[in-house]
């Protein structure tokens, strides 16, 4: 019989062995960042987001907490907090799911098939319903202009800051 802590370790190792960059927070297996690329065939293609993941003590019986650290323009993502409105994570989570499912299935589906009728970002939802082309253009503009944001001074340490990101970050704010 597997304990929640063994399952947490196993799922995290599986995620780390996949193609995702994983950064641990405070050497804890319960909090970490995952770099997530926008799926092909979506207006988010070409963007890379830093996703904060927190695993509760009862994981996998209780869902992980998922949030976008850097800005994303999407009807189902709160623009200020980065929290995600995704039914499979918030209400219908099952221990059959794992962290790889979150990044290979659930988040790509969220970006491929936004649900403007249940928005966390009302402006994005309204624009998407009113003018899909303008919505997709706004998404692409944000991807081209938004550098990957750091949330605190300690995260800006020399170890995890890659100066090559500056070349694709776009123009700095005046």
In a domain, 107, yes or no: yes
The Cα 147–Cα 26 span in angstroms is 24
Q: Is 166 a member of any domain?
A: no
Average pLDDT over residues 1-27: 87
pLDDT tier at 150 (50, 70, 90 boundaries)? Answer: very low
Question: Is 169 within the bounds of a domain?
Answer: no
Domain that holds residue 94: 4-145
More confidently predicted of 23 and 165:
23
In a domain, 99, yes or no: yes
Q: Within a domain: residue 92?
A: yes
pLDDT at residue 28, rounded to an integer: 79
Task: Indicate which residue of 85, 111, 127, 139 is catalytic.
Answer: 85
Residue range 68-90, pLDDT digits in tens: 999 999 999 999 999 998 888 88
Question: At 145, is the pLDDT very low, low, confident or very high (cuts 50, 70, 90)?
Answer: low
Instruction: Answer yes or no: is pLDDT of 131 > 50.
Output: yes
Task: Evaluate whether residue 158 is within a structural domain.
Answer: no
CATH number at residue 58: 3.10.110.10
- The answer as to whether 150 is a domain residue is no
To the nearest whole percent, how much of the chain has pLDDT over 70? Answer: 82
Q: What is the pTM of this model?
A: 0.78
Position 167 confidence tier, pLDDT thresholds 50, 70, 90:
very low
Number of domains in the chain: 1
pLDDT at 169: 42
The predicted-structure confidence for 22-64, as pLDDT tens digits, reads as follows 999 987 789 999 999 999 999 999 999 999 999 999 999 999 9
DSSP string, the chain: ---HHHHHHHHHHHHHHTT-EEEEETTEEEEEEEEEEPPTTSTTTT-EEEEEEE--TTTTTSPPEEEESS----TTB-TTT-BB--HHHHTS--TT--HHHIIIIIHHHHHHS--TTS-SSHHHHHHHHH-HHHHHHHHHHHHHH-PPPPSSGGGG-TTT--GGGGGGS-PPP-
Would residue 20 count as lying in a domain?
A: yes
Reply yes or no on whether 19 is catalytic: no
Q: What is the mean pLDDT of residues 165-173?
A: 42
């Amino acid at each position: 019989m597997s304990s929640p802590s063994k399952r947490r370790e196993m799922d995290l190792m599986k995620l780390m062995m996949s193609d995702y960059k994983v950064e641990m927070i405070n050497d804890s297996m319960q909090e970490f960042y995952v770099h997530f690329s926008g799926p092909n065939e979506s207006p988010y293609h070409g963007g890379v987001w830093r996703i904060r993941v927190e695993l509760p003590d009862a994981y996998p019986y209780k869902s992980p907490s998922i949030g976008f650290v850097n800005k994303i323009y999407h009807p189902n993502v709160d623009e200020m907090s980065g929290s995600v409105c995704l039914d499979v994570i918030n209400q219908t989570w099952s221990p059959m799911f794992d962290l790889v499912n979150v990044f290979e299935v659930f988040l790509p589906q969220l970006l491929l098939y936004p649900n403007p009728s249940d928005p966390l970002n009302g402006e994005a939802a309204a624009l998407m319903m009113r003018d899909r082309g303008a919505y997709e253009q706004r998404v692409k503009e944000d991807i081209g202009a938004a550098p990957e944001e750091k949330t605190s001074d300690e995260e800006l340490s020399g170890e995890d800051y890659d100066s090559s990101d500056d070349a694709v970050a776009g123009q700095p704010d005046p």
